[in-house]
């Protein structure tokens, strides 16, 4: 059970007005809102112990280092990584993917194949295209179906001994589909390919256990799970990370530097050049504490209720089509109304206080598949309510009336 009234009080932004109306925030898949508990951690850092980490002997630096490393440990425990050094702080999902893609440039070659899915965010497509351009490897795409699922029959055939890497999102940001990651990982294992899961949209809803999944790399962004922007993590199995060459050069990631030769630090520092987002990392730890206190099972059950209710209510609107109808999905509804442009619907509902996303959601191949310019996407979080869904439905009805 979710103590919804109590939870909503934790989020100061939820009591503000937008365009004179109470805010209804349904753009959670783009970024989530921040509870006071996390805001307090950010303020406390800048008020009381802002200092650079890992290098200072002074007390402030020690305090900041301890808090940052404690956050890394919390994140390790949350994702059940075996070793703390398998958690690399990044600037977010995009950074994590680019780090791995860059590293694989020296590990794969012409003739090798790289598999992505048709349901990817651009940040899990473009880095692999760049990798293929650099190396001569071939990018192959697991196709999707009308329901917005990966085509299971087709995907099995795409795996061969040439497959070296597989990149799939755990949950699609545009449609909410939860992908069959266990089957994909099992298939990849059979042919000896490494798997990177983009967990950006899964992590706010599903607690992934990276050891149970036996996945090679898992990437997330803190800002989608009650944390701040500009920070995230790359989880990688120790052996996998050790094989990857360093990504960016700079301070913090070295062992010894001379003009003749530089040697690199061990994990995780080898991939953490420069001053990191210290406060962000600490706040990410606090965000995980906050969500774990509520409980991911309770979050998933409540969000599913919201999804079922919103689906049923929206489908009562004539001419409304939902894209992504898998039974396995998170609380995301991507829709269009016949004859109307998603942007126009989004603009009108915003005037009524409702924040939804419109457009291609950085997933143009999905829009091309459905032959549409984009969708209206309402994405729900555990702090949303059925009453807010009623406001959305009424707003969409009004938009339809005004635009028809
Ligand atoms: N992958 C998916 C599935 C996403 O939804 C997003 C964010 N929309 C990203 C990657 C990129 O995340 P970030 O912008 O935080 O790097």
Looking from the CA of residue 96, the nearest atom of ligand 1 is: 16
Task: Name which residue sits closest to atom 6 of ligand 1, judged by CA.
Answer: 200
Give the DSSP H/E element, type plus range, for residue 334.
Answer: strand 332-337
Model pLDDT, residue 155? 86
- Among the listed residues 298, 128, 92, 156, the one whose alpha carbon sits nearest the alpha carbon of residue 290: 298
Distance (Å) from CA 218 to ligand 1 centroid: 13
**What is the residue with the minimal CA distance to atom 4 of ligand 1?**
200
Q: Do residue 68 and residue 186 come from a single domain? A: yes
Burial class (CB in 10 A: 0-12, 13-18, 19+), 260: exposed
Task: Locate the ligand 1 atom nearest the alpha carbon of residue 172 and give its number.
Answer: 3
Residues 96 and 17 in one domain: no
- State the residue range of the domain holding 368: 4-27+296-403
Range 130-149 average pLDDT: 97
Residue 1 pLDDT: 84
Same domain for 136 and 224?
Answer: yes
What are 39-47's contacts with CB under 8 Å, separation 24+? 39/12, 41/282, 41/283, 41/286, 42/228, 42/279, 42/283, 45/278, 45/279, 45/282, 45/283, 46/279
Please tell me the predicted confidence (pLDDT) of residue 381. Answer: 98
> Which among 118, 203, 221, 331 is the best mutation to test ligand 1's pocket, defined by most ligand atoms within 8 Å of the CB?
221
CB distance 375 to ligand 1 below 6 Å:
no
pLDDT of amino acid 245: 94
Domain of 342, CATH number, reads: 3.90.1150.10
pLDDT at 277 over 90: yes
| 173 C-alpha to ligand 1 centroid (Å) | 8
Our mutation pick for probing the ligand 1 site, out of 95, 122, 123, 377, counting the most ligand atoms within 8 A of Cβ, is: 123
Q: Residue 156 has what pLDDT?
A: 85
The answer on 252 and 112 residing in a single domain is yes
Task: Please say if 279 is a catalytic residue.
Answer: no
Identify the domain boundary among 261, 293, 325. 293
In 3D space, the residue among 154, 136, 134 whose CA is nearest the CA of residue 144 turns out to be: 154
Q: Which residue has the tokens 């309402």?
A: 378
Give the pLDDT mean for 230-238: 98
The pLDDT score that the predictor gives to residue 353 is 98
pLDDT tens digits, residue range 345-397? 999 999 999 999 999 999 999 999 999 999 999 999 999 999 999 999 999 99
CATH value at residue 244 = 3.40.640.10
Within this chain, do residues 316 and 276 fall inside the same structural domain, yes or no?
Answer: no
Q: Which two tokens stand for residue 404?
A: 């028809």
Same domain, 194 and 93: yes
Beta bridge partners of 177: 329
What distance in angstroms lies between residue 198's CA and the mean position of ligand 1's atoms? 8
372/274 same-domain check: no
Q: How far apart are CA 399 and CA 397, in angstroms?
A: 5
Q: Is the CB of 228 under 6 A from ligand 1?
A: no
Q: Measured in angstroms, how far is the CA atom of residue 123 from the centroid of ligand 1? A: 7
Decide the pairing of beta strands 113-117 and 163-169.
parallel
ipTM of the complex: 0.99
pLDDT at position 314 is 98
Residue 94, ligand 1, Cβ within 6 A: yes
Question: Same domain, yes or no, for 214 and 235?
Answer: yes
| Domains identified in the chain, total number | 2
The domain boundary, picked from 263, 278, 293, lies at: 293
Measure 224 CA to ligand 1 centroid, in angstroms: 9
Tell me: pLDDT of 252 over 90.
no
Q: What is the mean pLDDT of residues 256-271?
A: 94
Are residues 84 and 20 both part of a single domain?
no
Mean pLDDT of 309-332: 98
Strands (E), 93-205: 113-117, 138-142, 163-169, 194-198
Q: What is the pLDDT of residue 343?
A: 98
Q: Contact at 8 Å (CB) between 35 and 226?
A: yes
Q: Which tokens hold the place of 376?
A: 């209206």
Selected catalytic residue, list 132, 226, 279, 362: 362
pLDDT tens digit string along 112-121? Answer: 999 999 999 9
Chain segment 3-56, per-residue pLDDT in tens? 999 999 999 999 999 999 999 999 999 999 999 999 999 999 999 999 999 978
Strand partners, 375: 359
pLDDT above 70 as % of the chain: 100
Torsion angle, CA of 257/262/263/267, rounded to 10 degrees?
80
Looking at the chain, the whole-number percentage of residues with pLDDT higher than 90 is: 97
| Whether residue 65 is found in the same domain as residue 206 | yes
Neighbours of 292 (CB within 10 A): 14
Is there a single domain that holds both residue 300 and residue 289?
no
List, for residues 58-106, the tens digit of each pLDDT value.
Answer: 999 999 999 999 999 999 999 999 999 999 999 999 999 999 999 999 9
Question: Which of 244, 276, 293 is where one domain is finished?
Answer: 293
Residue 42 is assigned to a structural domain of this protein: no
The strand pairing partners of 17, in sequence order, are 22
Residue 204 has pLDDT above 90, yes or no: yes
**Same domain, yes or no, for 324 and 233?**
no
- The first and second tokens of residue 333, run together, are 């509804």
Helix (H, G, I), strand (E, B) or coil at 250: coil
Q: Is the CB of 117 under 6 A from ligand 1?
A: no
Which residue out of 28, 94, 232, 366 has the highest number of ligand 1 atoms within 8 Å of its CB and is therefore the one to mutate? 94
Taking the centre of ligand 1 as the mean of its atom positions, its distance from the CA of residue 262, in whole angstroms, is 34
Q: What is the mean pLDDT of residues 265-282?
A: 96
Does this model's pTM top 0.90? My answer is: yes
C-alpha span between 298 and 211 (Å, rounded): 23
């Amino acid at each position: 059970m979710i103590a919804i009234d109590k939870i909503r009080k934790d989020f100061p932004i939820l009591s503000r007005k937008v365009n004179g109306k109470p805010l209804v925030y349904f753009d959670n898949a783009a970024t989530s809102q921040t509870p006071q508990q996390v805001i307090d951690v950010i303020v406390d850092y800048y008020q009381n112990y802002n200092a650079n980490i890992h290098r200072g002997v002074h007390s402030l630096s020690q305090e900041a280092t301890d808090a940052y490393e404690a956050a890394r440990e919390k994140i390790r425990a949350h994702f059940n990584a075996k070793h703390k050094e398998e958690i690399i702080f990044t600037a977010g999902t995009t950074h994590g993917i680019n780090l791995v893609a860059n590293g694989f440039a020296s590990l794969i070659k012409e003739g090798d194949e790289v598999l992505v899915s048709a349901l990817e965010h651009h940040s899990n497509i473009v880095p692999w295209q760049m990798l293929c351009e650099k190396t001569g490897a071939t990018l192959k795409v697991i196709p999707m179906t009308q329901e917005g699922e990966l085509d299971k029959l087709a995907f099995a055939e795409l795996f061969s001994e040439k497959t070296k890497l597989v990149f799939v999102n755990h949950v699609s940001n545009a449609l909410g589909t939860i992908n069959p990651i266990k089957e994909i990982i099992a298939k990849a294992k059979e042919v000896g390919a490494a798997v990177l899961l983009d967990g950006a949209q899964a992590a706010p809803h599903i607690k992934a256990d990276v050891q149970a999944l036996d996945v090679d790399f898992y990437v997330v962004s803190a800002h989608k799970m009650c944390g701040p922007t500009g920070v995230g993590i790359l989880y990688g199995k120790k052996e996998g990370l050790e094989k990857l060459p360093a990504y960016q050069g700079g301070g913090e990631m070295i062992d010894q530097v001379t003009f003749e030769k530089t040697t690199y630090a061990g994990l995780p520092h080898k991939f953490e050049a420069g001053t990191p987002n210290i406060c962000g990392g600490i706040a990410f730890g606090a965000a995980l504490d906050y969500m774990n206190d509520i409980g991911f099972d309770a979050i998933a059950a409540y969000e599913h209720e919201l999804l079922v209710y919103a689906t049923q209510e929206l489908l009562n609107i004539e001419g409304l089509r939902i894209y992504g109808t898998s039974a396995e999905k998170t609380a995301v509804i991507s829709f269009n109304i016949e004859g109307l442009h998603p942007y126009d619907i989004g603009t009108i509902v915003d005037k009524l206080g409702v924040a939804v996303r419109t457009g291609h959601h950085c997933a143009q191949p999905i829009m091309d598949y459905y032959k549409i310019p984009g969708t209206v996407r309402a994405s729900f979080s555990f702090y949303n309510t059925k009453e807010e869904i009623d406001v959305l439905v009424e707003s969409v009805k009004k938009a339809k009336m005004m635009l028809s």
